[in-house]
Structure 1
Amino acid sequence: MSKQLTTILATTLALIEQFQDTLSTSTHTEQPSPKDAKALPLLSASSATLKAQVTKLSLLSITSPFTHSAVSGVLRACNDTVLPSLVTAALLVTPAEYTKAFHSEVLLLVRTTLNEFNTLVQQVKSISEKKDLEKKDDPKKESELARPDKDAVTLATGRVWDACDTVLEVASKGVVGFVMHRVEQWRDLVRDAVQEIEDWDPEEDDDFFDDLMGEDKDDGEEDDDDSDDEEETAALKEQKKNTLRFLKPIVQVYPSIATNRLKNAGDAPLSSAAGVTRLEALMLNLQSIPEQVDEAAGALYEANVAKSAKFLKKTQKNAAQAVESMAAPWDAADAAGCDKQVTDKFSIWSSAWFKVMDEVSKPIDAASTA
């Protein structure tokens, strides 16, 4: 019986390696449509089944007596159905039908799950080898598994559970839920940057720099320097105020889009290639803003007002493109040529948003060309 288990363990480890290579190199072309493939339900079901099988495998491995046939049965089920189903589901989540970001996320999570399962199988293999040596020395002997071995299996099992739970969560929320989560993360990053700018005091930075670089100066030089410092500090304070006014409507883009275009959208964004394209454009633009805000803040702290303003203009461009990409409701007949005059809560909000941005961007426009 130990020979059979050895063969199955080797098969499991080889399959995991093969599936990892498949997920890494697959071009994901000419796949079935999500309506026919039911990729996400399959992803959920296979993840839940793997978690259940892992639970059995863990208990069988750490509980005496170590039964080769029972362990083999669990591994055989994983090899024959569970792992192939999990990998198949991941391959069916194609970029063209689920967005590039969601496709990448699913591949990453499934590969992580396979890695964690591989670690557990290696632990089971080690236990099996120890038990075989023990039986070889004394066929009637069946000792309790050592605590370090039990702990190693328990830890590995917990990591597989966590990986499966993460896959289940992503699959259950779907593409739109995934996008909403990302939008919330990017919104929080922008809010943190804005809070940092609000807390920044140009006068304190100026005093710190003077203390750090201070040299003995005569009274005339001190008067001139004080005058220059006061002018620069005043200019930075003004730019700080303009920056915060400018960023306030930028921050509002995130919750407005999440509430009016993503929440309760269901699978509508995935009903056409144009809908997927809109989601791609939305994520690309909203993801770019936090880094640009950080760059704008960093330039402001360095008293480089023009550089800061140029980064702010980039955030405005991305925010405007994000708003424009969500102009039409998802149920528009043809998103590629849909009626942009559709009036709903978001279209009314977006019209007001563009007017506000035109106003608050005037000082930023002037600073960026100075």
Structure 2
Amino acid sequence: MAPREADTQALDDAITSTLTRLTEFAAFLKPSTPSPLTEPIKTPPNPLNVLRDSAMLVKAHTTKISLLAINKPFTPSAIAKVIRLLSAECLPAMMSAVQICEQESGVWSNVIAREAQARVRRVFLEMETLLQEVQAVSQGNGNARSRNSLSSTGVVWESCDALIELQKLGLGGLAVQKAEQWRDTIKDAILELEEWKEGEDPDTEGHDALLDSEDEAVEGDKGSVEDLFFAANSLPSDRLELKTLVEDSINRLRKVVLLYSALLKRRLRTFDKSCDGADEGTDERRAKVSRLDEALAGLQKVPHQVDDLAGCFYDLDEERAKVGLAKCVETALSAALTMKVDWTGNEDEFTAWRVKWKAAVDPDVKEKQAIGG
């Protein structure tokens, strides 16, 4: 039996209104856009729990929507009912959780607030695609059965799993995850710099025939043309001072990688345990979160600075490379100083190790004042 026209229209209305809401919310969840919910939430619940519960509901609702869309008879009234529940319950709950993270960033940290914002936005964007597919099927413009299921359902599930994972990770676990990613990015940059330093020299067998000195097109400008062709792939053999600077940079960046590993072991992996039994709104927790946020902000900067440093080398700009290296080291030193003492304010193994590390990475850089210093 074909669905009634009124039911089909009701489904189309439900999808359209939900799509409009998703688009508006996703726009507000861009990093540079403030949350649309400006009224403070009194006695807010744990936002990570709200995100987890909402994500589980979204998974359940989207599963129902998918099954109803691909199975016969097609029942628009049943699908519309699920979509209305999705729009009325899950979307506002997720937006409220994001607002709580922002409103209580002193408790949940800036890193959690940004991560919640990004992960919820992804859920909304994937749900848009799913509902557009359902709408196409409802209007007779799509064939869900030919794909066995709506292709976007699994992607929505993945985005929801990321929110569930965020609740499981907590602040300490997310800090560890992020720091490991940033450390690995620096490791990759070091490998690329090493390959560039040891790269193919234009005088070797890899020399491009187009750069033959007898070619009239390059005669008289051979040196500059070689720089243009080979600088991005290898260090010119005649740039001895630049080679020394690259080697020094690689050596220092390896020590920066060691700092990440030390902070992961001695500070980030011990954060959650240090907060056990402490009320989420206490000044003690807020002070620890502030320290963690400050350190993570520095640890996040370093990979970008390393990328800029590598660009200076590839441009064969020695002076800019020196400045870039100094920025990398200074930022790392600042993060290390922020984490100088443990979460109870006492000195420990890392405190002593940091002094030796500082002397090895750059004994002449002046330390900046930081919490815990």
| Shorter-normalised TM range | 0.7 to 0.9
Radius of gyration: which is bigger?
A: 1
Q: Following the alignment from structure 1 to structure 2, what is the Cα–Cα distance between the partners of residues 26 and 38?
A: 18
Q: Distance in 1 between matches of 2:117 and 2:157?
A: 17
The C-alpha deviation readout for 1:149-183, integer Å capped at 9, x for no partner, is 65395212122112111222223212222222221
Query: Partners in 1 of 2:34 and 2:260 — Cα distance?
Result: 35
Of residues 195, 198, 214 in structure 2, which corresponds to 1:199? 195
Q: Higher mean Cα deviation, 160-169 or 196-205? A: 196-205
How far is 1:48 from its partner?
1.0
Note if 1:112 corresponds to 2:122. Answer: yes
Q: Give 1:236 shift.
A: 4.1
Does structure 1 residue 331 correspond to structure 2 residue 336? no
Identical positions, percent:
29
Letter in 1 for 2:331: N
Contact 1:127 1:149 in 2 (8 A): no
**2:173 aligned with 1:177:** yes
* AA of the residue aligned to 1:260: R
1:127 equivalent to 2:137? Answer yes
Secondary structure of 1:161's match?
helix
Q: Is the 8 A contact 1:50 1:78 kept in 2?
A: yes
**Counterpart for residue 58 of structure 1:** 66
Q: Among residues 233, 245, 248, which one is paired with 1:242 in the alignment?
A: 248
Q: Specify the SS of the correspondent of 1:283.
A: helix
Over the residues paired in the alignment, what is the CA RMSD in angstroms?
3.4
Secondary structure of the structure 1 residue equivalent to 2:150: helix
What SS does the aligned partner of 2:288 have? helix
Q: Is there any run of 5+ residues in structure 1 with no aligned partner, and where?
A: 132-145, 217-229, 333-341, 363-370
TM-score normalised by structure 1 residue count: 0.75
In structure 2, the residue corresponding to 1:282 is in which secondary structure? helix
Closer/same/farther in 2, CA of residues 118 and 20 from structure 1, 3 Å limit: same
Partner of 1:98: 108
Does 2:22 align with 1:16? yes
Q: Distance in 2 between matches of 1:175 and 1:52?
A: 27
Q: What residue is the counterpart of 1:136 in the other structure?
A: none
Whichever residue aligns with residue 355 of structure 1, its letter is A
- Structure 2 length normalisation: TM-score? 0.74
Distance (Å, rounded) in 1 between the aligned partners of 2:153 and 2:106: 34
- Deviation of the 1:22 alpha carbon: 5.2
CA deviation after TM superposition for structure 1 residue 189, in Å: 1.7
- Find the residue that maps to 2:139 and give its secondary structure: helix
Matched, 1:279 2:292: yes
Q: Are the structure 2 counterparts of residues 322 and 311 from structure 1 closer, same or farther at C-alpha, using a change threshold of 3 Å?
A: same
Question: Which residue matches 1:307?
Answer: 320
Work out whether residues 201 and 237 of structure 2, in 8 Å CA contact, stay in contact via their aligned partners in 1: no
Alignment counterpart, residue 347 of structure 1, candidates 347, 351, 355: 351
Matched to 2:109, the amino acid is T
> How far did 1:109 drift?
1.8
Change (3 A) 1:147 1:42: same
> 2:302 touches 2:331 (CA, 8 Å); kept in 1?
yes
**What residue ranges of structure 2 are gaps of 5+ in the alignment?**
1-5, 215-235, 366-373
Higher mean Cα deviation, 180-189 or 18-27?
Answer: 18-27
Assess if the C-alpha contact under 8 Å between 2:312 and 2:320 holds in 1: yes
How many residue pairs were aligned? Answer: 325
Return the alpha-carbon distance in structure 1 between the equivalents of residues 323 and 10 of structure 2.
Answer: 67
Write the mapping of 1:290-301 to structure 2, written as runs, cut at 5 A.
Answer: 290-301=303-314
The structure 2 residue matched to 1:26, chosen from 18, 35, 45, is: 35
Query: 2:336, 2:197 → 1: CA distance?
Result: 32
Please tell me the residue identity of whatever aligns with 2:161. Answer: D
Instruction: Give me the whole-angstrom Cα distance separating, in 1, the residues matched to 2:40 and 2:89.
Output: 20
